[in-house]
Amino acid sequence: MLKFLWEGSRTILFSTNKQKADEITNIKIEDERLRNFRKLLNYNDKSIISESVSIINLHNRGQHSESEYRKDELSKKYKLRGLIICHMITTGDMSLVLDEIQEINENKNKIECFGWWIKNYNNISILISPSELDDIDSIHVKILEINRKLVKNYINIHLTGTVDECNNILKIIEKMKKNKIIKYSNLMHFINESGFLMSIKIQMDFDDV
Protein backbone atom coordinates (compact mmCIF):
# COMPACT_ATOMS: atom_id res chain seq x y z
CA MET A 1 0.00 0.00 0.00
CA LEU A 2 2.70 2.47 0.94
CA LYS A 3 4.70 1.67 -2.15
CA PHE A 4 1.72 2.40 -4.39
CA LEU A 5 0.90 5.60 -2.54
CA TRP A 6 4.17 7.31 -3.30
CA GLU A 7 4.79 6.32 -6.94
CA GLY A 8 3.64 8.75 -9.60
CA SER A 9 4.23 12.39 -10.63
CA ARG A 10 7.66 13.90 -10.24
CA THR A 11 9.05 16.13 -7.53
CA ILE A 12 12.56 16.94 -6.27
CA LEU A 13 14.45 15.65 -3.25
CA PHE A 14 17.96 15.25 -1.91
CA SER A 15 20.02 12.27 -3.01
CA THR A 16 20.01 9.17 -0.83
CA ASN A 17 23.73 8.71 -1.44
CA LYS A 18 25.55 9.13 1.89
CA GLN A 19 28.56 10.68 0.17
CA LYS A 20 26.44 13.16 -1.77
CA ALA A 21 23.63 13.93 0.63
CA ASP A 22 22.89 17.30 -0.93
CA GLU A 23 22.83 16.09 -4.52
CA ILE A 24 19.49 16.65 -6.25
CA THR A 25 17.71 13.72 -7.87
CA ASN A 26 14.22 12.83 -9.08
CA ILE A 27 11.53 10.93 -7.21
CA LYS A 28 7.93 10.11 -8.05
CA ILE A 29 4.85 10.85 -5.96
CA GLU A 30 1.45 9.68 -7.07
CA ASP A 31 -0.65 11.20 -4.31
CA GLU A 32 -2.06 14.32 -5.96
CA ARG A 33 -3.40 15.62 -2.65
CA LEU A 34 0.07 15.64 -1.11
CA ARG A 35 1.59 17.14 -4.23
CA ASN A 36 -0.92 20.00 -4.24
CA PHE A 37 -0.74 20.62 -0.51
CA ARG A 38 3.06 20.68 -0.58
CA LYS A 39 2.90 23.72 -2.87
CA LEU A 40 1.37 25.74 -0.02
CA LEU A 41 4.19 25.08 2.42
CA ASN A 42 7.40 26.92 3.24
CA TYR A 43 10.75 25.80 1.85
CA ASN A 44 11.73 23.73 4.89
CA ASP A 45 8.48 21.79 5.06
CA LYS A 46 8.62 21.15 1.30
CA SER A 47 12.14 19.77 1.74
CA ILE A 48 11.08 17.60 4.68
CA ILE A 49 8.26 16.08 2.64
CA SER A 50 10.55 15.42 -0.32
CA GLU A 51 13.22 13.79 1.83
CA SER A 52 10.57 11.75 3.65
CA VAL A 53 9.29 10.41 0.32
CA SER A 54 12.85 9.32 -0.50
CA ILE A 55 13.00 7.53 2.85
CA ILE A 56 9.77 5.62 2.28
CA ASN A 57 10.92 4.55 -1.17
CA LEU A 58 14.18 3.23 0.26
CA HIS A 59 12.17 1.45 2.95
CA ASN A 60 9.86 -0.13 0.38
CA ARG A 61 12.87 -1.42 -1.54
CA GLY A 62 14.14 -3.12 1.62
CA GLN A 63 17.05 -0.67 2.09
CA HIS A 64 16.28 -0.26 5.79
CA SER A 65 19.75 0.77 6.95
CA GLU A 66 19.93 3.51 4.33
CA SER A 67 16.40 4.72 5.12
CA GLU A 68 17.27 4.93 8.84
CA TYR A 69 20.43 6.86 8.01
CA ARG A 70 18.42 9.35 5.95
CA LYS A 71 15.88 9.69 8.75
CA ASP A 72 18.66 10.44 11.25
CA GLU A 73 20.10 13.08 8.92
CA LEU A 74 16.67 14.63 8.45
CA SER A 75 16.16 14.73 12.23
CA LYS A 76 19.49 16.48 12.75
CA LYS A 77 18.70 19.04 10.07
CA TYR A 78 15.04 19.80 10.84
CA LYS A 79 14.81 18.71 14.50
CA LEU A 80 11.52 17.45 15.98
CA ARG A 81 9.27 19.05 13.36
CA GLY A 82 11.13 17.26 10.58
CA LEU A 83 10.98 13.92 12.38
CA ILE A 84 7.25 14.20 13.04
CA ILE A 85 6.44 15.08 9.42
CA CYS A 86 8.69 12.22 8.30
CA HIS A 87 6.86 9.79 10.60
CA MET A 88 3.48 10.97 9.32
CA ILE A 89 4.57 10.21 5.77
CA THR A 90 6.49 6.97 6.31
CA THR A 91 3.70 5.45 8.43
CA GLY A 92 0.99 6.46 5.96
CA ASP A 93 -0.71 8.63 8.59
CA MET A 94 -0.32 11.60 6.26
CA SER A 95 -3.40 10.30 4.45
CA LEU A 96 -5.41 11.09 7.59
CA VAL A 97 -4.09 14.65 7.54
CA LEU A 98 -4.92 15.04 3.85
CA ASP A 99 -8.44 13.71 4.47
CA GLU A 100 -9.04 16.62 6.82
CA ILE A 101 -7.25 19.18 4.67
CA GLN A 102 -9.30 18.39 1.58
CA GLU A 103 -12.44 19.44 3.49
CA ILE A 104 -10.97 22.92 4.10
CA ASN A 105 -11.30 25.72 1.54
CA GLU A 106 -8.91 28.42 2.77
CA ASN A 107 -5.19 27.74 2.27
CA LYS A 108 -4.37 29.47 5.56
CA ASN A 109 -6.68 27.08 7.40
CA LYS A 110 -5.18 24.10 5.59
CA ILE A 111 -1.73 25.07 6.86
CA GLU A 112 -3.14 25.57 10.37
CA CYS A 113 -4.65 22.08 10.23
CA PHE A 114 -1.27 20.67 9.23
CA GLY A 115 0.30 22.54 12.15
CA TRP A 116 -2.25 21.04 14.54
CA TRP A 117 -1.35 17.56 13.39
CA ILE A 118 2.36 18.21 13.85
CA LYS A 119 1.72 19.52 17.36
CA ASN A 120 -0.55 16.62 18.34
CA TYR A 121 0.85 13.73 16.32
CA ASN A 122 2.63 12.14 19.28
CA ASN A 123 -0.76 11.99 21.00
CA ILE A 124 -2.28 10.14 18.04
CA SER A 125 0.33 7.64 16.89
CA ILE A 126 2.98 5.51 18.57
CA LEU A 127 6.03 4.03 16.87
CA ILE A 128 7.17 0.81 18.56
CA SER A 129 10.56 -0.73 17.82
CA PRO A 130 11.01 -4.53 17.91
CA SER A 131 13.46 -4.13 20.82
CA GLU A 132 10.59 -2.79 22.96
CA LEU A 133 8.56 -5.98 22.63
CA ASP A 134 10.43 -7.50 25.57
CA ASP A 135 9.18 -4.70 27.82
CA ILE A 136 5.41 -5.09 27.67
CA ASP A 137 4.86 -2.79 30.64
CA SER A 138 6.59 0.04 28.77
CA ILE A 139 4.30 -0.49 25.77
CA HIS A 140 1.29 -0.41 28.08
CA VAL A 141 2.48 2.87 29.58
CA LYS A 142 2.89 4.48 26.14
CA ILE A 143 -0.58 3.46 25.00
CA LEU A 144 -2.29 4.42 28.26
CA GLU A 145 -0.58 7.81 28.27
CA ILE A 146 -1.99 8.63 24.84
CA ASN A 147 -5.37 7.22 25.85
CA ARG A 148 -5.52 9.69 28.76
CA LYS A 149 -4.79 12.61 26.40
CA LEU A 150 -6.93 11.28 23.52
CA VAL A 151 -7.18 14.04 20.90
CA LYS A 152 -8.84 11.80 18.30
CA ASN A 153 -11.22 8.89 18.75
CA TYR A 154 -8.46 6.46 17.80
CA ILE A 155 -4.81 5.61 18.45
CA ASN A 156 -2.46 4.30 15.76
CA ILE A 157 0.39 1.97 16.61
CA HIS A 158 3.17 1.25 14.11
CA LEU A 159 5.93 -1.34 14.07
CA THR A 160 8.35 -2.55 11.41
CA GLY A 161 9.87 -5.97 12.00
CA THR A 162 9.55 -9.67 11.27
CA VAL A 163 6.22 -11.44 10.90
CA ASP A 164 6.55 -12.77 14.46
CA GLU A 165 7.26 -9.27 15.81
CA CYS A 166 4.21 -7.86 14.02
CA ASN A 167 2.09 -10.67 15.43
CA ASN A 168 3.52 -10.09 18.91
CA ILE A 169 2.55 -6.40 19.07
CA LEU A 170 -0.94 -7.30 17.86
CA LYS A 171 -1.28 -9.94 20.59
CA ILE A 172 -0.02 -7.50 23.24
CA ILE A 173 -2.72 -5.00 22.33
CA GLU A 174 -5.46 -7.62 22.11
CA LYS A 175 -4.50 -8.86 25.59
CA MET A 176 -4.73 -5.32 26.96
CA LYS A 177 -8.48 -5.40 26.34
CA LYS A 178 -8.86 -9.00 27.47
CA ASN A 179 -7.08 -8.18 30.73
CA LYS A 180 -9.13 -4.97 31.10
CA ILE A 181 -6.05 -2.74 30.96
CA ILE A 182 -7.71 -0.62 28.30
CA LYS A 183 -11.14 -0.54 26.69
CA TYR A 184 -11.54 0.12 22.98
CA SER A 185 -14.54 -0.34 20.72
CA ASN A 186 -12.77 -1.80 17.69
CA LEU A 187 -9.33 -2.95 16.58
CA MET A 188 -8.09 -2.98 12.98
CA HIS A 189 -4.67 -3.85 11.63
CA PHE A 190 -2.96 -3.54 8.26
CA ILE A 191 0.25 -5.31 7.25
CA ASN A 192 2.52 -4.17 4.42
CA GLU A 193 5.53 -6.07 3.11
CA SER A 194 8.69 -3.97 3.20
CA GLY A 195 11.62 -5.82 1.69
CA PHE A 196 12.49 -8.67 4.04
CA LEU A 197 10.54 -7.03 6.87
CA MET A 198 6.89 -6.25 7.48
CA SER A 199 5.20 -3.05 8.62
CA ILE A 200 2.08 -3.27 10.74
CA LYS A 201 -0.36 -0.49 11.55
CA ILE A 202 -2.84 -1.14 14.35
CA GLN A 203 -5.75 1.24 14.88
CA MET A 204 -7.54 1.23 18.23
CA ASP A 205 -10.95 2.90 18.00
CA PHE A 206 -12.63 4.48 21.01
CA ASP A 207 -16.09 5.26 19.64
CA ASP A 208 -18.85 4.84 22.23
CA VAL A 209 -16.41 3.63 24.89
Does 24 have pLDDT greater than 60?
no
Number of Cβ atoms within 10 Å of the Cβ of 30: 12
Its pTM stands at 0.84
**Helices 107-120 and 64-90 meet at what angle, rounded to 10?**
120
- pLDDT of the residue at 169: 97
- Range in 26-35, 40-49, 156-165 the model is least confident about: 26-35
pLDDT digits (tens, 9 = 90+) for 51-71: 999 898 888 888 888 999 999
Relative to beta strand 154-161, strand 197-205 is: antiparallel
Domain boundaries, the chain: 2-101, 124-205
Look up the CATH superfamily of 124-205: Alba-like domain (3.30.110.20)
